[in-house]
Chains A and B, each alone.
Chain A
Amino acid sequence: MKARRLDEVLDECLSAYLEGRRSIEESLSLYPALRDELEPLLRTAAELAGALGEHSSPAHPRERRREQFLASASARRRAAALTTDVGLHRRIARAAYGRGRWALMGAAFAVTVAVTVAILDTSSGGERPEAQFLPADPLAPAVSDLRRAQERLWMRANQGADVSPEMIRDLARSTSELESQVRDFSALDGRSRLELKRAISDQFLLLLLIVDTQSADVAPAAIQALDLTEQVANAWGVELPEVPLGVTATPVSPSPGATPPQSATPAPSPAVTATPSPEATATPQPTPPASP
């Protein structure tokens, strides 16, 4: 009974101290009978609070991290908006040139593309944590050109602006240029291989999106670039992303006559709930990377 009472009193005094409502001395004066037991515990608790509660992260990195967080939030919003728009574009695109399969695939991957390219976008001014080409790397200029071409296309597609066939041809030229410089993909170091895999996978998804959402004028150039991308991926032994149906925030279901992709697999969507249960439910899983 007494132990129970001490728990309660300790917490009451502690809460009052932590919230700045009472000093330790004031609390002790309220419970003179418990003073001998209470005082050492409150002093220890105050020491704990002082040691653990006063640290803050360094100001500069904290601000940088905050900006990254807000940039990610913005990218996610854009991705969500794009996903919503894609439904309309998809129908238009399908009606325009009857490529139901591409439309379906492009729509299903819209979020992934958006997030993937947004990562490029947001990290262009900062560091990308993994697999980036060093400036001294002979492939760096070609990779950089390719990424710029991808980003230009992405920026326009994401803003709902028209993409020109010339921009797509520019992307194809950069792809061919890079391919010609990568003589033996398997001989490259792991870091370079990873970056090239990412680049070609991102490009594949981006082109699917363009085929799906842009006007019929660009379809021939986009399909040509898509074929080239697949050829390069094959040459490098890169497995292009499968098409996870149902990955979108607004689920896309195949319309009558549309052929679902053969390799479609269920998407490992971030299965998170607010249910406070250990590990399994409360831990959000990161968005699966778009590229291997």
Chain B
Amino acid sequence: MSPNGNAQGERLVVDAARAGNASALSELYTLYFPRVYRYILARTGNTYDAEDLAEEVFMRMLEAIERFQWREAPFSAWLFRIAHNAVISQRRKETARGRSTQLSEGLAVDSVGPDELVENRLVLSDIREAAEKLPEAQRQVIALRFAAGLSVAETARTMGKGEGNVKVIQHKAIVKLREMMGQQRKAPKVYESETA
């Protein structure tokens, strides 16, 4: 079962979770935690924040799932809206504290070696840097589609937009990111160790 896979199976699981079934809640956690984590990591760029916020999202889900209604939105859209709100709320708190989001020292990636880790970090850092310059809607589409792995339909429901609109936003975001990342790669990187 996946968020964009067996909808009927997911419905059964979600309904059981709404009734307080522990196995169903566990299954939802297993299914969605990695996606929520990646979505938040894509939005914040910080593994520690991503872990904490993903946990918070699931605690909120736990508090609210009894009131979840299918007629309003698919479960994934509902859950990622909670995740989106958690990210926005975190940003506001950070702004109030005057702290800017920083990339963590090392990305926690399972099953990769040190070289890949460094490479991933650089790629993610480039992408994050570029994505920060995108309008909010484009950033959200990129995070939902590529980090959380939602379909266009689910992304559209999460964002409260039409699917056609999401495709246009996605197209624009990819074009812009391509331009920006191309520029970043052309510009020589200055590392602290070289200037020190």
Residues on A facing B (Cβ under 8 Å): 3-4, 6-8, 10-11, 14-15, 18, 40-41, 44-45, 47-59, 61-62, 65-66, 68-70, 72-74, 76-77, 80, 270, 272-279, 282-284, 286-287
Interface size class of B (residues with CB under 8 A): 35 or more
With A57-B34, A57-B51, A77-B20 as known contacts, state yes or no: A270 contacts B63, CB within 8 Å: yes
Measured in the bound complex, the distance between the Cα atoms of B66 and A80 in whole Å is 12
User: Which residues in B have some Cβ–Cβ distance to A below 8 Å?
Assistant: 20, 22, 25-26, 29-30, 33-34, 37-38, 41-42, 47, 50-51, 54-55, 58-64, 67-69, 72-73, 77-78, 81-82, 85-86, 88-89, 107-110, 120, 123-124, 127, 142-143, 145-147, 149, 151-152, 157-158, 160, 164, 167-168, 170-171, 174-175, 177-178, 181
Q: Is the CB of B178 within 8 A of A55?
A: no
Closest chain-B Cβ to A155's Cβ sits at a distance in Å of 20
A273 to B64, CA, bound (A): 7
A49 touches B34 (CB 8 A): no
Contact in complex: B171, A273 (CB < 8 Å): no
* Residues of chain A within 8 A of B178, CB atoms compared: 40-41, 44
A268 CB to closest chain B CB, in angstroms?
13
CA separation between A58 and B178, bound complex, in Å? 30
Q: Which residue of A lies closest to B88 (CB)?
A: A279
The reply to whether A48 and B26 form a contact with Cβ atoms under 8 Å apart is: no
Contacts of A56 in B (CB 8 A): 34, 37-38, 108-110
Tell whether, in the assembled complex, residue B82 and residue A284 are in contact, meaning their CB atoms are under 8 Å apart: yes
Which listed residue, B33, B78, B109, touches A274 by the CB 8 Å rule?
Answer: B78
Q: Contacts A59-B110, A70-B26, A72-B62 given; indicate if A276 touches B78 (C-beta within 8 A).
A: yes
B82 close to A282 (CB less than 8 A)? yes
- Complex: A54 Cα to B120 Cα, angstroms: 9
A-B contact pairs, 25 of them (CB 8 A): A7-B168, A11-B167, A48-B127, A48-B174, A52-B127, A55-B37, A55-B107, A55-B120, A57-B34, A57-B37, A57-B50, A57-B108, A58-B51, A62-B33, A65-B33, A69-B29, A73-B62, A74-B22, A272-B63, A274-B72, A276-B157, A276-B158, A279-B88, A282-B78, A284-B64
Q: How far is the CB of A243 from chain B (nearest CB, A)?
A: 22
Known contacts A282-B85, A284-B63; is-contact A69 B170 (Cβ 8 Å): no
